[in-house]
């Protein structure tokens, strides 16, 4: 997949504003950004749900919209919103979609049964969609996207609103797909999710890609190794050589490559609401997109 100068405008809104990126086969790439950064619009351009305003985009060497049918035959999409038919049961949902994708009835039944088993949904095969939990619905949507054995899987906020147990179950399934060689594009607000799954992340803001690279490399390149995060401080300790300070709202973050310096500062803080930890991808994200609200 290759994009050069790719843009999508809605009147005066530059939802995607001239982005360049490439995705290699078998790679998992995470797209991060605040609300309105352009992530979902970009995904919709890739699977031919929107027509680009400018630039170039190639998927499997084909041109979206012009060769939409050929591209979508190799793409599975897990949408941000639940768009399953709630009057169907889980097995019917998969079977109908498989037939729509052109699978024979025998193959459709086999694939539906395989994916229900893989997603631990076999006991719910005859349950209607409206009776399923949120986590079951998300797993069923992933199963549906995989029925036609796509080369590329696009997941738009796949675990939003799910509890940690379900989130980790979905992560395990996505890791298995990566081991099988599937190319995955992931949009998410969960920095841990991106760090766990992505070979590379692309951080977007206001329609542009402002940073890209492997998560651990970005952390090492752009941040100190350790962070002391505290809240409720009425007075910030005096500046110390080797420690960098940032403040957002009632939260204070102190960064340093020397853990003993932060440990000594931690011991002096007049608050119990403090934690000393390694820097992570969320710290990088906030450094480049800011700590204020994007609305």
Q: Give tens-digit pLDDT for 81-136.
A: 899 999 999 999 999 999 999 999 999 999 999 999 999 999 999 999 999 999 99
Number of H helices, E strands in the chain: 10, 13
* pLDDT for 294 beyond 70: no
Q: Domain map of the chain by residue range?
A: 2-219, 224-278
In the predicted model, what is the mean pLDDT of the chain? 93
> The pTM is what?
0.91
What CA–CA distance (Å, rounded) separates 270 from 293? 28
Q: Tens of pLDDT along 151-203? A: 999 999 999 888 899 899 999 999 999 999 999 999 998 999 999 999 999 99
- Tokens for 39, please give them: 């992530």
**What's the pLDDT band for 292 if we cut at 50, 70, 90?**
low
C-alpha atoms less than 13 angstroms from C-alpha of 49 in its C-beta half-sphere: 11
DSSP 8-class letter at 128: B
- Out of 3.20.20.70, 1.10.760.10, 3.30.70.2190, 3.40.50.300, the CATH code matching 2-219 is 3.40.50.300
Spatial CB neighbours of 247, under 8 Å, sequence gap ≥ 6: 236, 253
Spatial CB neighbours of 270, under 8 Å, sequence gap ≥ 6: 233, 234, 235
Largest CA distance in the chain: 72
- Tokens for 142, please give them: 């992933």
DSSP string over 60-110: TTB-TTTTHHHHHTTEEEE-SS----TTSBHHHHHHHHHHHTT--HHHHHH
| Per-residue confidence (pLDDT) for residue 251, from 0 to 100 | 85
- Tokens for 243, please give them: 């420690």
C-alpha atoms less than 13 angstroms from C-alpha of 131 in its C-beta half-sphere: 11
- Tokens for 204, please give them: 């977007």
Spatial CB neighbours of 38, under 8 Å, sequence gap ≥ 6: 8, 15, 16, 17, 19, 204, 206, 207, 208
Mean pLDDT in residue range 267-288: 90
């Amino acid at each position: 997949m290759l994009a050069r100068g790719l843009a999508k405008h809605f009147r005066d809104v530059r939802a995607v504003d001239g982005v360049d990126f490439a995705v290699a086969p078998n790679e998992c790439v995470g797209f991060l950004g605040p609300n309105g950064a352009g992530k979902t619009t970009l995904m919709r351009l890739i699977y031919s749900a929107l027509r680009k305003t400018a630039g170039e985009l190639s998927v499997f060497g084909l041109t979206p919209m012009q060769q939409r049918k050929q591209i979508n035959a190799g793409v599975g999409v897990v949408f941000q919103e639940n768009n399953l038919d709630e009057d169907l049961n889980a097995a019917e949902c998969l079977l109908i979609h498989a037939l729509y994708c052109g699978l024979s009835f025998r193959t459709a039944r086999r694939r539906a049964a395989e994916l229900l088993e893989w997603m631990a949904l076999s006991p719910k095969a005859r349950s209607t969609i409206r009776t399923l939990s949120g986590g079951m619905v998300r797993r069923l949507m992933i199963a549906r996207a995989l029925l036609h054995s796509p080369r590329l899987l696009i997941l738009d906020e796949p675990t939003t609103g799910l509890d940690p147990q379900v989130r980790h179950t979905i992560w395990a399934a996505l890791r298995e797909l990566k081991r099988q060689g599937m190319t995955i594009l992931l949009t998410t607000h969960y920095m841990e999710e991106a760090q766990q799954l992505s070979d590379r992340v692309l951080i977007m803001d206001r329609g542009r890609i402002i940073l890209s690279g492997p998560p651990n490399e970005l952390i090492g390149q752009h941040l100190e190794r350790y962070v002391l995060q505290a809240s409720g401080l009425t007075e910030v300790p005096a500046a110390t050589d080797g420690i960098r300070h940032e403040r957002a709202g009632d939260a204070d973050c102190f960064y340093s490559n020397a853990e003993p310096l932060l440990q000594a500062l931690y011991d002096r803080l007049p608050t119990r609401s403090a934690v000393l930890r390694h820097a992570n991808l969320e710290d990088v994200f906030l450094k480049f997109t800011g700590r204020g609200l994007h609305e």
